[in-house]
Each structure stands twice: as C-alpha cells, then as structure tokens.
C-alpha cells in the first residue's frame, strides 16, 4: 500500500478536530449549523495552522450530500466525510471545488479565468468553491479580477483566500471578506496531536523526542507531522531523542539547558569540553548557538520580569519552563556580557569555515578560568 503522508491522513475532518483555533471554529461551526456561510473568506496566519483544512471543511459543508438530504444531520454543523462529494473534496478532485495556488504560473492563468469561471454554475454540487492559496502572491491584475467578483458574488459561489502575509492583501479586497486570523500552534497542542498519531500508528516515541520535534516545528502542525513521518520512514517504530537530534541536527532540551547552565555558573574548561562534545556529535553549531541565545534570552527576560512567564507557556513544556524559571533566579547583570558575546559569535560563525572558533573565542572572553 502506498504510504499516505501523516499530515494528510490526520488532517482534521471536522470543526471539532481542529486544534487551537477555538474562536474561528465557534463562528464557522455556528454558521454551518444555521446555513449562513459567507460568500468570501480571508484566512490569515502562519503555515501549517489549518487554513487549507478549514477551507476544505467549508467546501464540504457547502456541498455535502448527507447535509443536503438530512435536516437533523445538517443541524450538527459538520460534514459527513463519507458521501461521494466529501470524499472527492478530501482527495482534491471535486470539479466544483477549485484550489488555486497563486504562487504558481498555472495559478495566474486560473485567476485570469476566474471572472468567467464564477459565472458558470457548478456542474454537480450546489456551490462552486474557489480556494486561493498564497493569495499574497496575486498580481495587480489578478486582484482586480477578484475585486469584480467580490463586489457581486454570484449566489452559488464561495471564495476563500488564504495567506501567510495578510499585510499584502489590498484593503479593497479584505474589507469585502469575513476575516479569520489563525494562531501559531502552541507547543503542547502539537505534542498532544503527535502523541495521538503515535498511538494510532503504533509508533513508540519518548516524550523528549516528541518535544524536540514539536519545538523545531515552530508553531506548525504540518511541519511537526512531516518530521514524524520522515522519522518513521527512515527508521523503525521506536523513535529515540538521539534519532530526532541526528535527523534535524539540533540538540534536545536537556543538552541545551545543561550547556546554558555551564555558561551561567560553570567554568571555562567545563564549557569548552561540553562544546567540543557537541561539535563531535555533528550538530550544526550555528543552530545550537541560536538555541542557546534563545534559552538565555528567556532566562534574562524572566529575571527582569517574572510575570512574563505566561508569554513562554505557549512555546515550552511545563517542566522546561520550570527549569528556565529556576535559572532566571541566578541570572545577574554580569551575564549580559555573555549574551552579547554569544550574539556576536553567532553573527560571525554563520560565515565562518570553522564555526566553532568564534564561539570558543566568545567563551574565552567571558567565562571565568577556574
Ligand atoms: N489547527 C489544526 N489542528 C490539527 N491539525 C492541524 C491544524 N492545522 C494544521 N494541522 C495539520 O497540518 C496539516 C496542514 O494543515 P493546513 O490546513 O494545510 O495548513 P495551512 O495553514 O498551511 O493551510 C493538516 O493536514 C493537519 O494534519
Ligand atoms: Mg495551506
Ligand atoms: Zn458528505
């Protein structure tokens, strides 16, 4: 059987399944129950947070055959996901749901034809749904074509624009749409979803490994799921932290925090030895330095203002946050030199043939000898 990418297999098929976007879901779920979908939507937010998924949910709500024939099911405000129409939408080949990638050449042609295309009634389903992805890439001509349609959308048309860069969408367009802002995924939410996938797929994976995958996905469910996918394809069904570290070239939280502790309180020889070991492990040192800077920055921020703890809740596991809070109690103004030296080293090492040297020099300059 061909391997179905995890992120496709586990794409939420109901509003209920969509994580972390409660506000959006409430509004759309209610609209679906009451049959009050808008004619134009604008979805903005970072990659991998559910924009395309939600657009397809709307397409299914609009065209689901079970909903059309069964009023009590319709009142649930979800698609059935089993009728031929729902299935065709999931597979991306329902003729009346047109997905356009504005970033591609084909997309430009398709937008050019949009004005005519929206006039033609749908061939099989009640609604023609146009999903325009990467909408910020549209040209001026394309925006004009779109504006005409938005000014007088035919009754059978739903337009959904998705973008990661909403500031590039002309106000004339965005003011004619119902707008939703998708949030970056919180670390815990990503971990929760990965755990669920692991259970269903029979993958054994440690919490630290899951945490590193989720951290490196930087707020994108898709990136996290794709990484898990790669690990499964690459290895076995038992994934360790070391495997994740090797795959992405980033160290896990424990190594990061241990090294940062040495910088805050250890001696030069201890820190140099730990660094040499990390280099031997084949890790990307610029990436590592960036992670150390981020770690110490959080320590510094919390040392100055403990209330900012809530800011980091979305980005860190609870036990990791506690370690950073503990470290912040030992942070002094003298450590600001350290942070500055690391930032300078980071700037240099990205262009250096020997990235370890700027980092070692930074340590030599700021850490006590013994
Ligand atoms: N809010 C979410 N809840 C659960 N899974 C999600 C969510 N957002 C994205 N995903 C996962 O990431 C994949 C890609 O999501 P997608 O909707 O295509 O993101 P984008 O915002 O880039 O359009 C989905 O198939 C799903 O597995
Ligand atoms: Mg998308
Ligand atoms: Zn259906």
Closest CA to 264 of 95, 47, 215, 256: 256
CA distance 299 to 260: 10
Which residue of 221, 223, 225, 226 sits with most ligand 1 atoms within 8 Å of its CB, as the best mutation to test the pocket? 221
Structure confidence at residue 140 (pLDDT):
87
Structure confidence at residue 110 (pLDDT):
80
How far does the centroid of ligand 1 lie from the alpha carbon of residue 8, in Å? 9
Q: List the domain boundaries for the chain.
A: 6-181, 187-248, 253-366
How far does the centroid of ligand 1 lie from the alpha carbon of residue 10, in Å? 9
What architecture is domain 187-248?
A: Orthogonal Bundle (1.10)
Q: Which residue ranges in the chain fall short of pLDDT 70?
A: 1-2, 107, 235, 370
Structure confidence at residue 2 (pLDDT):
55
Q: Are 74 and 67 in contact (CB under 8 A)?
A: yes
CA distance 7 to 9: 6
Structure confidence at residue 141 (pLDDT):
85
Residues with CB under 6 A from ligand 1: 7-8, 10-12, 18-21, 47-53, 162, 193, 221-222, 225
Structure confidence at residue 234 (pLDDT):
75
DSSP string, 43-103: EE--TTSSHHHHHHHHHHHHH-HHHHH-HHHHTT-S--S-SHHHHHHHTT--TTEEEEETT
Q: Are 53 and 18 in contact (CB under 8 A)?
A: yes
Closest Cα to atom 12 of ligand 1: 222
Structure confidence at residue 370 (pLDDT):
67
pLDDT tens digit string along 189-204? 999 999 999 999 999 9
The domain covering 6-181 belongs, at the CATH homologous superfamily level, to: P-loop containing nucleotide triphosphate hydrolases (3.40.50.300)
Q: What angle do CA 214, 220, 225 make, to 5 degrees?
A: 60
CA distance 370 to 368: 6
Name the 3-class secondary structure at 231.
Answer: helix
Same CATH fold assignment for domains 6-181 and 187-248: no
Q: What angle do CA 192, 19, 325 make, to 5 degrees?
A: 55
Task: Provide the CATH number for the domain formed by 253-366 in this structure.
Answer: 1.20.272.10
Structure confidence at residue 53 (pLDDT):
97
pLDDT tens digit string along 7-34? 999 999 999 999 999 999 999 999 999 9
Structure confidence at residue 350 (pLDDT):
86
Closest CA to 178 of 13, 24, 29: 24
């Amino acid at each position: 059987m061909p391997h179905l990418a995890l992120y496709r297999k586990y794409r939420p098929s109901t509003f209920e399944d969509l994580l972390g976007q409660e506000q959006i879901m409430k509004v759309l779920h209610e609209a679906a129950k009451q049959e009050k979908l808008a004619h134009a939507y604008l979805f903005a937010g970072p990659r991998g947070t559910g924009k395309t998924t939600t657009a397809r949910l709307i397409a299914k709500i609009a065209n689901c055959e079970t909903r059309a024939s069964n009023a009590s099911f319709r009142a649930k405000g979800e698609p059935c996901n089993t009728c031929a129409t729902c299935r065709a939408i999931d597979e991306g080949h329902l003729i009346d749901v047109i997905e356009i990638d504005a970033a591609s050449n084909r997309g430009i042609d398709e937008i050019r034809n949009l004005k005519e295309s929206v006039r033609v009634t749908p061939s099989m389903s009640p609604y023609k749904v146009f999903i325009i992805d990467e909408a910020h890439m549209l040209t001026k001509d394309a925006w004009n074509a779109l504006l005409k349609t938005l000014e007088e959308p035919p009754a059978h048309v739903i337009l959904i624009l998705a973008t990661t860069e909403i500031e590039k969408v002309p106000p004339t367009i965005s003011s004619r749409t119902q707008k939703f802002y998708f949030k970056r995924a919180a670390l815990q939410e990503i971990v929760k979803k990965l755990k669920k996938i692991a259970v269903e797929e029979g993958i054994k994976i440690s919490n630290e490994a899951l945490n590193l995958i989720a951290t490196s996905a930087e707020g994108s469910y898709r990136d996290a799921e794709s990484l898990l996918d790669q690990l499964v394809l690459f290895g076995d069904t038992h994934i360790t932290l070391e495997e994740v570290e090797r795959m992405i070239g980033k160290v896990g939280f424990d190594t990061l925090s241990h090294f940062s502790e040495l910088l805050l309180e250890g001696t030069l020889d201890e820190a140099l030895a730990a660094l040499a070991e990390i280099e031997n492990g084949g890790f990307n040192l610029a990436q590592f330095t960036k992670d150390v800077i981020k770690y110490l920055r959080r320590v510094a921020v919390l040392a100055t203002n403990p209330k900012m703890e809530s800011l980091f809740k979305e980005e860190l596991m609870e036990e990791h946050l506690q370690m950073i809070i503990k470290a912040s109690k030992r942070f002094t103004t003298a450590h600001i030199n350290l942070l500055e030296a690391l930032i300078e080293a980071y700037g240099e090492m990205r262009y250096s043939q020997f990235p370890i040297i700027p980092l070692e020099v930074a340590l030599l300059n700021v850490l006590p000898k013994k």
